[in-house]
A and B are shown apart, each in its own frame.
Chain A
Amino acid sequence: MVQADSELVNAVLDGNKDAFAILVKRYERPVRAVALAVVGDHHLATDVSQDAFVKAYEALAGLRKPGAFGPWLMKITRRCALNFVRRDPKEAQLEPAAAGILESPDGQLDEDKQALLAAVVRLPEAERQVVMLRYFAGHSVKDVAGIVGRSVGTVTKQLSRAHKRLRNILERSEK
């Protein structure tokens, strides 16, 4: 039985750092996805992901609803990624060169995948979270429901709506 995000967040706030490690593992791919959508490079996305998790940890005491950890973390990630690109244009120019050398085994995303990722990132918050947990992090629908603290039925509906929306976004972008 998976632990809900809210339980893990409360455990972290009660001093259990291992609970945060579980959250890191759980949201690693969703966070990378959001970072990748902004910075467009695996290596930089790794660095942004690290920053985002560290910032989330430091700001965790200010999270009003522990159950909203996922969407909140995505916002932090996006901010980190944007800051990373904006903060130092000189550095941002230098980094793709380094990234070429530090290429991850996964390489760069091809165009189709970039388009799909951009569409996922544009989904409404709740749908984006369940899509990422289901397909990027590989959780079952039941586990996703447990993680986000919603019923299996609700998650199924959200996934279904997300599919419809993604197809629409992708069709529009193909025209």
Chain B
Amino acid sequence: MSAKDNLEEKLEGLGQAIGSDRSLIQTVMTRINARTPAGFSRIERRFTMSRLMKLAAAAAIIIVALLGVRFLDKSLSTTYAFDQTVEAVKNVRFMHVVQRDETGQIEDERWIEIGPDGFQVRYRQDNPPNRLIVEDGQTVSVYYKDKNSVILYDPKDQQYQWIGNLRVALNELAGQASMVIEKNVDYWGRKAHHVRWLTLNVDCYIDPETKLPIAMAGYQISYEDPPEGIFDIVIPEGVVVVDKRPGAPPVEEPEWMKIKDNNAKIAQQNFDEARMMSAAGEYEKAAELFKNVVEIQPGSNWAWFWLGKAHYELGEYDSAIYEFSKVIEMLTKSFKVVPHYCHLARGLAYAAKGMKDMARRDFETGLPVMIDALRNIKSATSFDYADDPLYKDLPEDKRPTAEQSLAMMINRLRLITGQNFGYDPGKAVVENEQAIAAWEDWFKSSGRIQFTPDAELVHIPMAPSQQ
């Protein structure tokens, strides 16, 4: 081998060792969007042209400023009437959803047929090379190619979906105007509206003509009719079939499935107990149980998150940072979702360690959604859930009210910004409206992070149903 070849090999090896961070793009773009949601205006662009153009642009900026038009602010106010997308999706019968890896290979491909009521009728999910799921309307078949086994379920017992029943989920967003949007961007050669679905922290791109989403959470979506037979369940010859549908004759499950089922059961028990321990302030016990869960199910993002919270409460900040980082990596990598609540939690752990810059970066990532939540309280749900592991067990009337969620968000903001603005749950709506407007103005004009552990916090009001 020549010296040059050897050097090239070493350089390539170095490139591999330098590694990459698959969540980098998402993180960088989130931070950029947080600072400059509107992107570059054409006025900024012209600064790169020439001295004359610079002067002209500067003059234009002065005129614009005099006219009181704000092109360059950090406004979150641009909105998209999501109802038109909700309406458009009502006419969709078939969806084709694809996610690719960095090399362009398909990681996940799904075909979905939606019925007139908005619920999934038939479904196919192919995760090469090992798993193929097909629901033909009556039966769900899961083919584990590496195990040479097919498991058949009744859809009532086991159903696979993509972002739930999409149309039903979208319906819940009807009427919500507080969407961060950048209109008419170029999405891989197609014009699209870039919308942030704040309630779920998911980015999507909407076709301006059809109003249909063409990309969501890292998946590309199209609406063509599927190939013939795509929803047919075909059981290859020689595979082990385990029929779990009601009424099917009992069969001996393969050993791997027994272990899998048993582990899932243990994980669920540990998870439920750990959440209760955590809510009761028994953090050591909770941490132990959450650890068991992530050992069995390393993809359980909430177990990782609450394990981090338990360690944070125990003052074990390094462990907490590690666990929160796992959640952030997991969600940004696999689902292209930025868990803002987790950035807040990790920022607090960094702050507790005195690592101000790291804390600031995390707080800055969470801040736009936290500010948005002051008017769109649904954006606060994931923060509330993160703070209360028993949230989902609570009946609707026991969950935090909008007023309580707002007060809790105000407290989180006070903690990381050092700002106050006089919000008081006991005050009149008009006075608090001024406080919320003040928060928004502060975010647009400064948005400076100032971790303030001794910030004055507001009282969380009790709702009558919770007394």
| Contact A88 to B356, CB < 8 A, known contacts A15-B42, A17-B29, A163-B4 | yes
Contact yes or no, A49 B21, CB < 8 A: yes
CA separation between A7 and B16, bound complex, in Å? 28
A122 to chain B, nearest CB (A): 14
Q: Indicate if the CB atoms of B14 and A136 lie closer than 8 Å.
A: yes
Is A174 in the interface zone, CB < 8 Å from B?
Answer: no
Report the separation of the CA atoms of residues A90 and B358 in the bound assembly, to the nearest whole angstrom: 13
* Secondary structure of the B contact surface, majority rule: helix
- What range describes how many residues of A lie at the interface? 35 or more
Stretch of B159-167, B316-324, B433-441 on the interface side:
B316-324
Interchain CB contact under 8 A, A24 and B28: yes
Q: When chains A and B are docked, how far (Å) is the Cα of A89 from the Cα of B70? A: 40
* CB contact under 8 A between A16 and B45, given known A98-B318, A102-B321, A106-B18: no
Task: Tell which of A66, A105, A166 touches B7, judged by Cβ atoms closer than 8 Å.
Answer: A166
Given contacts A24-B25, A29-B20, A117-B14, contact A15 B40 (CB under 8 A): yes
Distance in angstroms from B100 CB to nearest chain A CB is 13
Q: Is the interface of A mostly helix, strand, loop or mixed?
A: helix
Indicate if A143 sits at the interface (CB-CB under 8 A): no
CA distance A166 to B10 in the complex (A): 11
Beta-carbon contact of B45 and A14 below 8 Å = yes
Which residues of B sit under 8 angstroms from A16, Cβ to Cβ?
39, 185-186
Q: Given the known A-B contacts A15-B39, A61-B47, A120-B11, are A28 and B32 also in contact in the complex, defined by CB atoms under 8 Å?
A: no
Min CB–CB distance B140 → chain A (angstroms) = 35
Contact residues of A between 68 and 116, Cβ < 8 Å to B: 84, 87-88, 90-91, 94-95, 97-98, 101-102, 104-106, 109-110, 112-113, 116
Q: Number of B interface residues at 8 Å Cβ cutoff, please give it.
A: 52
Which chain B positions have C-beta within 8 A of A50?
A: 24, 27-28, 31, 361
B152 CB to nearest A CB, Å? 37
Complex Cα distance A33/B12, Å?
12
- Interface residue? A54 (CB, 8 A): yes
Check A98 against B11 for contact (C-beta < 8 Å).
Answer: no
Chain B proximity mask over A45-62: 1 for CB below 8 Å, otherwise 0: 011011101100110111
Q: Report A-chain residues with C-beta under 8 Å of the C-beta of B335.
A: none
With A14-B40, A17-B29, A47-B357 known, 5 other A-B pairs at CB within 8 A are A11-B186, A17-B194, A24-B25, A29-B18, A104-B19
Which residues on A are within 8 Å of B, measured CB to CB? 11-21, 24-25, 28-29, 32-33, 36, 42, 46-47, 49-51, 53-54, 57-58, 60-64, 66, 84, 87-88, 90-91, 94-95, 97-98, 101-102, 104-106, 109-110, 112-113, 116-117, 120, 131, 134-138, 163, 166-167
